[in-house]
Structure 1
Amino acid sequence: SFLVGQVPVFSIMLAAAILRERVAVVGWIGVGVGIVGTVVMLFADQAGLSINIGTVYVLAAAIAESLYFVLSKPLLTRYSSMELNLYVTIPGTLMMLPFAGDLTHQLASATTPNLLILVYLGIFPAAVAYLLWNYALARLDVSASTSGLYALPLITILISFAFLHELPSLLGLVGGVISLIGAALVNNRRARTARA
């Protein structure tokens, strides 16, 4: 989660390098504060940080997601949010077909709740989320839109409490608030004025 929490940082750095987006000093301070919040949340987790091959895969995924955000920005001047979503989702789905293996057997033995979860995951966190993301990215800088990802821990906490009745540790909550402060700094009026 620490590495995934750095997607806004990677995105802002890549947007500055590739798209030449300007980030004000207060924006860079916000990035730093967001990193601090993520580190605090990391230490709130009893498991801590362990480095292994899975960590390399997660880091590669976080960088790939950041590249997707940055490289999508120019495409959204030519394509609508819906078109770009289709052009990305359909080939992405096709590339997963070799991994389908015994999918039909597993689907046949899956329970109805499991099938509903599968459909939910395909529609909302995948297709709808990226459609809305593309819509926002077409109207905002990469740095402004990706800094909103610092809100994910807070949203996760609220959903976790609502559905699983789980509460984070106090340190985890503090880290979430620090991350939100970082996002606010990246998106404050002075940072937006400097980008404009």
Structure 2
Amino acid sequence: MERKVIVYAVVASSLWGISFPITKLGLEEISPILFAFLRYLLTSFLFLIMALSYKNFFEVDYKYLAIFGLVSVTLPVVLQNVGLKYTSAYISGFIQSTGPIYTLILAYIFLNERITKHKLIGLALAIAGTYFIVSPKGGGNFIGNLLVLFSAISYSIGGIMAKNLLIKGYNPLQIIAFASFFGTIFLAPLIFIENIEFSKSSIPFILYLAIFPTFIAYILWYSAMEKMEVSKLSFFVYLIPILSLISSHIILKEEMKLMTILAGFVVLIGIAIAQKA
């Protein structure tokens, strides 16, 4: 496996891990769905600028991509933002790291990807590591945690759909550009079901989240997906709780324990074993 592909996956996962405490801070200044809408509206504009230099960029299956945008952007980002408003940033990161469980099963069912011994061992270690990170306190808000869990499942389904698009010959930029575009369209009417709140102080958070963990991270992630099995790539999601934990401690002053650090290394070992498959 090319080192460049691994770097792409690591950087993308790191940006997503750091995004949890930043999103948590942003939610103090703006309502959850409006936050998501403005973030992806800006991201869609950035992708549109890039798209102008690509030939045949708009020759796509619009119906499939609309569904993909709903599953990979609208649903998960709404569930995550609303859930994050009620639970802690680092717990949200841990819950999102369960994504590979669903991806492994879905990739086996729909993409005929083999579940090898290394994948199973790596998955078991990664789950154990995540369990030990969460277990000392557990906690968080149950409804908030449940919403984030559904968000993780939705992201996993989106990952399978994205892999299917890559197999059909779509390039990563097409996939994420149209996902952002359609996801933004579906987000627009949802704004009005919440009590809209907006402060100018939210603008830096919107800009950061639109550019780094969305625009840049997704380009890197889907570029890596072109060269790596979905189920194997999904193990890099286990980097998210580690970065979420560290950044939440630094930015939000959330408590960090020695057990979580040790468990984080167990997660990394699980990723390394899965990579040998």
The TM tier, using the shorter chain, reads 0.7 to 0.9
2:116 corresponds to: 24
1:89 aligns with 2:180: yes
2:102 corresponds to: 10
* From 141, 152, 155, the counterpart of 1:65: 155
Say which SS state the counterpart of residue 96 (structure 1) adopts: helix
Q: Is the 8 A contact 1:30 1:183 kept in 2?
A: yes
Which is worse superposed, 172-181 or 29-38?
Answer: 172-181
Q: Is the 8 A contact 2:119 2:232 kept in 1?
A: no
Q: What is the correspondence of 1:124-143 to structure 2 with a 5 Å cutoff?
A: 124-143=212-231
Any stretches of 5+ residues in structure 2 without a counterpart?
1-90
Report the residue type matching 1:14 in the other structure.
Answer: L
Report the residue type matching 1:132 in the other structure.
Answer: L
CA shift, 1:49, in A, is 6.5
Structure 1 residues 53-74: Cα deviation after superposition (integer angstroms, max 9, x where no partner) = 4444333211111111112112
CA distance in 2, matches of 1:172, 1:13: 27
CA distance in 2, matches of 1:61, 1:83: 23
Query: Would you identify which runs of 4 or more consecutive aligned residues in structure 1 move more than 6 Å?
Result: none
CA distance in 2, matches of 1:74, 1:17: 13
Q: Is the 8 A contact 2:130 2:264 kept in 1?
A: yes
For this pair of structures, how many residues does the alignment match? 183
CA distance in 1, matches of 2:117, 2:106: 16
Any stretches of 5+ residues in structure 1 without a counterpart?
192-196
Report the residue type matching 1:115 in the other structure.
Answer: I
Q: In 2 relative to 1, CA 60–162 (structure 1 residues): closer, same or farther, beyond 3 Å? A: closer
CA distance in 2, matches of 1:165, 1:86: 35
Q: What is the correspondence of 1:1-196 to structure 2 with a 5 Å cutoff?
A: 1=91, 2-44=94-136, 46-48=137-139, 52-77=142-167, 78-101=169-192, 106-107=197-198, 110-111=199-200, 113-160=201-248, 163=251, 168-188=256-276, 191=277
Please report the RMSD computed on the Cα atoms of aligned residues, expressed in angstroms.
2.5
Q: TM-score, normalised by structure 1?
A: 0.82
CA distance in 2, matches of 1:140, 1:88: 21
